[in-house]
Amino acid sequence: MKVFISGNIAPVGLKQLEENNITITQWKENRQITAEELIDACKDQDALVSVGPNKLNAGFLNACKHLKVIALHSVGFDQVDLDAAKKLNIPIGNTPGVLSAATADTAFLLMLAVSRKAFFSHKKIIQGEWKNYEPSPELGIEVKGKTLGIFGLGKIGLEMAKKCAAAYQMKVIYHNRSHNEEAEKEIDAEYVSFETLLAQSDVLSIHTALTPETKDKFTIDIFKQMKPNSIFINTARGGIHNEKDLITALEEKIIWGAGLDVTNPEPMDKDNPLLAMENVAVLPHIGSATEETRAAMAKIIVQNVVAGLKGEQLPFEVK
Active site residues: 237, 266, 285
Other beta carbons within 10 Å of 277? 19
User: Rg of the chain over CA atoms, in angstroms?
Assistant: 21
**Which DSSP category does 169 fall into?**
-
In whole angstroms, give the CA distance from residue 171 to residue 41.
50
Strands 171-175 and 147-151: parallel
Closest CA to 255 of 222, 217, 226: 226
Give the CB-side neighbour count of residue 176, counting CA atoms within 13 A.
19
How far is residue 71 CA from its own chain's centroid? 17
At residue 263, φ and ψ (nearest 5 deg) are: -130, 170
> What is the crossing angle of helices 291-309 and 100-115, to 10°?
150
CA 60 to chain centre: 24
Residue spans of beta strands (DSSP E) within 86-197: 92-93, 147-151, 171-175, 190-191
Q: Are β-strands 69-72 and 203-206 bridged in parallel, bridged antiparallel, or unpaired? A: unpaired
Measured distance between the N- and C-terminal CA atoms of the chain, rounded to whole angstroms? 25
Cis preceding-peptide flag for 91 (omega within 30 of 0)? no
d(CA 152, CA 175): 6
Q: Measure the CA dihedral 152/156/158/161, to 10°.
A: -90
